[in-house]
Amino acid sequence: MLRPPAPVSRYNILDVAPVNIRGLDHLVPWSMPEKILVTGGAGFIGSWTVELLVREGYRVVVLDNFSTGSPGNLARVLDRIKVVKGDIRNHILLDEIIKRYEIDSIIHLAALVSVEEATRNPGEAVRINVNGTHNVLETARKHDLERIVYASSAAVYGDPKYLPIDEDHPLNPKNIYGATKLGGEALVNAYHDNYGLSTISLRYFNVYGPRMRSGPYAGVIMSFIQRILQGKPPVIYGDGHQTRDFIYVEDVAAANLLALRSKTTGSYNVGTGREVSIRELLRIICEEIGRDIKPAYAEPRPGDIRRSVASINRSATDLGFKPRTSLRQGLKNTISYLIKNPPFS
């Protein structure tokens, strides 16, 4: 028997079973302005993107299965958006949402985003990141949607052959996660080339900020902050001279909006163009927290890339993208958030 949608916790969110679309029958389609479906919209990057879209006057529908996202991430805009609990692998649900809400465009952020999780469960990574992306694209093609923004990753590049990494750099992912994101990009490009779908892929570098994920698969910034606040030495794998391009989450949300409004197609880097070593990162975090804790060093992790930094010249020229948050300010914001909303005990 098909069950009706039920609220999730105290939030008014439609809980749609994998085969249940009847629960959407009572929903009234929106009129203008433009209506955007954000998959993974309750997640880290998704929730910041949704907030920005709402501020800019868009009507927003969020589709999220809440495997890593949280209704609380959307607390500031829940009364101005629609949220459906469901999965991008459910093509029937995708079709029904687009019809019911008369969706114009999609920002596709839903994914299995952890390198470690993808390595542990490659089949699931393919089902979500490749097959799920195919469902989104096919539904968009069927309904002749205006624009698809796809969240890709710098992981598609693999070991850099030169720096900074531009969009013409060879694509040679070294892990399952990167391979699945590249697979998604290939589908995005094929749907543009074969069906004329207006698409764009954004290759995010190392995104950080408030609401980022905690737990065993947390990134280096969350790990450092968590351990320092707990009075434990942060762990550096290798010598700490490896580098990354850290970009603040609100700048990534701005890039998503620019990509949505643009008519250009292809793939674009989303980073800062600044190369930061892990040791420098730790020094700034310690300064902002006000604690001087010496790190513990561990063996380098297999497959860890030595250096990484984006060229954002093409994104600046074609999209008008310009990151505005300095690393220190972004870390300050992140630390303040985590002190007020500790995800760890």
Measured CA to CA, the distance from residue 147 to residue 35 in angstroms comes to 11
pLDDT tens, 201-220? 999 999 999 999 886 656 99
Q: Which residues contact 31 (CB under 8 A, 6 or more apart)?
A: none
Nearest to 113 by CA among 82, 74, 72, 154: 154
pLDDT tens, 141-188? 999 999 999 999 999 999 999 999 999 999 999 999 999 999 999 999
State the maximum Cα–Cα separation within the chain, in Å, rounded to a whole number. Answer: 59
Determine which of 101-105, 132-136, 297-301 has the lowest per-residue pLDDT on average.
Answer: 297-301
Average pLDDT, rounded, for the chain: 91
Residue 143 identity: H
CA dihedral sign, ordered 161, 248, 118, 140: negative
When pLDDT is cut at 50, 70 and 90, the band that residue 15 belongs to is low
Q: What string of DSSP letters covers 262-309?
A: ----SEEEES-S--EEHHHHHHHHHHHHT---PPEEEPPPTT--S---
Quote the pTM value: 0.92
Measured CA to CA, the distance from residue 152 to residue 270 in angstroms comes to 10
| Structure tokens given for 32 | 């203008």
Catalytic residue among 101, 177, 208, 248: 177
Answer yes or no: 177 catalytic.
yes
Higher pLDDT, 127 or 28: 127
